Copies of this chain bind each other. A is one copy, B any other.
Amino acid sequence: MHFVGRSWLLLTGFILFYVIYLLFGALVFSSIERPMEESMRTELKVLKQEFLNLSCVSDAALERFLLKVLAANKYGVSVLRNASTTSNWDLASSMFFANTLVTTVGYGHTTPLSDTGKAFSILYALIGVPFTMLVLTACVQRIMFPLVLAPVGLLQRSGLEPRPATIVHFLLLLILLVMCFFVAPAAVFSAVELSWSFLDGIYFCFISLCTIGLGDFVPGTQPNQQYRSLYQVAVMVQSLGCAPAATSWVSVRELYREYQANTGTTFRNNCDLLVYLFVGLIMMFLLLRTFHKMADLHGL
């Protein structure tokens, strides 16, 4: 019991330090990149005004203008009037960026513009990536008992042989993972994000939790859209159960409208995504480890 207490303390310390590390990264990235972004934003606005004031639009002028527009867009600065006015480098967004660095997901929807930012990214990931792997592994070890050892024991006590028990358990875990981290979030995304289909949601979840992170779909980054929240994922999974929640995405939309009326903070959205990535990756690791165990037992 003494040992268990100490290992919980260690894990809490790890997670606390992880959060502090993310906050530290957010502060540094924000202070480095925000001025660069501001100047790029103003420059682009001036360029656009100049372009609109031209009496006749020549091919060459349009080309020059578009070149600048696309370059700015690469760093997450949009030329559109109704683009989100919130900075890509406020504290919450910077923290999200830091999180995508250390989990190696790297959506790249915003990227550092300055040399200092690039150099800091390298240093930050150099320490952060191994540390995050450590924290994730520690979390997986902690949930091994309630999610793997205990259920397998239960299945065996209920009369199953060890080998079929591991297979049944693996399949149950797979269904749980797919429901809680693919189907349910995808249902929420397709309700919350205006232009996302259900397939887009599944695609985003999969590409994220495999740490591929293509960045073509990132929640809350589209123009002409308020920042949305994934708060419901947690609410739903806890209150409604997984499978019914996933199928009842019409009610999710209702829930969301109510929620939207009550809150509307950027920070919450980014934090939810951050927690989604963190917990989802833990579950992916757990599934991988369980699969390895099962394969070992079957002599594969």
Among A48, A70, A101, the one with the most B-chain Cβ atoms within 10 Å of its Cβ is A70
Query: In whole angstroms, what is the CA distance A59 to B207 when docked?
Result: 37
How many monomers of this protein are in the complex? Answer: 2
Closest to A76 in B: B216
- Chain A, residues 192-225, CB within 8 Å of chain B (1/0): the string is 0000010110110011001111111000000100
Among A66, A80, A211, the one with the most B-chain Cβ atoms within 10 Å of its Cβ is A66
Check A212/B125 contact, CB under 8 A, given A80-B66, A115-B199: yes
Contact B81 A213 (CB under 8 A): no
Check A80/B108 contact, CB under 8 A, given A62-B52, A210-B129: no
Q: Shortest CB–CB separation between residue A120 and chain B, in angstroms?
A: 10
Check A119/B210 contact, CB under 8 A, given A108-B215, A111-B216: no
> A63 contacts which of B74, B80, B199, B216 (Cβ < 8 Å)?
B80
Contact A212 B104 (CB under 8 A): yes
Residues in B whose Cβ lies below 8 Å from that of A203: 118-119, 121-122
Say yes or no: is A107 at the interface (Cβ < 8 Å to chain B): yes
Query: In whole angstroms, what is the CA distance A99 to B87 when docked?
Result: 33
Say yes or no: is A249 at the interface (Cβ < 8 Å to chain B): no
- Give the interface of A toward B (CB within 8 A): 48, 51-52, 54, 57, 59, 62-63, 66-67, 69-70, 73-75, 78-82, 100-101, 104-108, 111, 115, 118-119, 121-122, 125-126, 129, 197, 199-200, 202-203, 206-207, 210-216, 223
Closest 6 CB pairs of A and B: A106-B212, A108-B214, A111-B216, A108-B215, A118-B203, A106-B214
